[in-house]
Amino acid sequence: MKLLVCAVGHRMPAWVAAGFNDYARRMPRESPIELIEIRPQARPSKPLNPAEVERLLNAEAQRIRAALPAGCRTVALDEHGKSYATAEFARLIQGWMREGGDTAFVIGGADGLQSRLRRDASLQLSLSPMTLPHQLVRVLLAEQLYRAISLLHRHPYHRE
């Protein structure tokens, strides 16, 4: 199973790329992490009204849908989503591995994800009930994916 991280944003700070790439490099061959960066919609310098934000999110959602492979399982990252303990998250991934197919974790940009994209996802996942910067979510998600796969392979990375 391939794990795709589809994230709105490009030209990330060096620490984001380094952190993500470090965990992606550690993944076993049978569970690689691939990053798909989505160009964010240009935002004007003035504050946006809700209709303008929705228009921007719709444009980003179109690019996200176009970038995802057909038939892949979609997980929307959202602070209001379901939280999992590490062992639960590992079992969830194990179930997906049994079912087959790739899984795409979708991270929104500064304004989050379009509501329909979140609603249509197989799962809305929360890494924390706190609002996190989308750049940091890439690194945290990569680490949690590595931790879950390590746990499934009985690698000593995860300690309880």
Give the closest residue to 68 by CA, choosing from 92, 35, 93: 35
Q: Residue for token digits 């076993």?
A: 28
Predicted pLDDT of residue 158: 58
Burial of 132 (0-12, 13-18, 19+ CB in 10 A): middle
Structure tokens at 103: 């899984």
Q: Give pLDDT tens digits for 84-101.
A: 999 999 999 999 999 999
Predicted pLDDT of residue 43: 85
DSSP string across 24-82: HHHS-TTS-EEEEEEPPPP--SSPPPHHHHHHHHHHHHHHHHHHSPTT-EEEEEEEEEE
In whole angstroms, what is the distance from residue 35 CA to residue 68 CA? Answer: 11
What's the average model confidence in pLDDT over 49-68?
A: 95
| pLDDT for residue 70 is more than 90 | yes
Of residues 155 and 137, the one with the higher pLDDT is 137
pLDDT band at 159 (very low <50, low <70, confident <90, very high): low
Predicted pLDDT of residue 101: 92
Residue 64 is which amino acid? I
Burial of 85 (0-12, 13-18, 19+ CB in 10 A): exposed
Of residues 17 and 154, the one with the higher pLDDT is 17
- The domains located in the chain, with CATH, are 3-152 (3.40.1280.10)
Predicted pLDDT of residue 131: 86
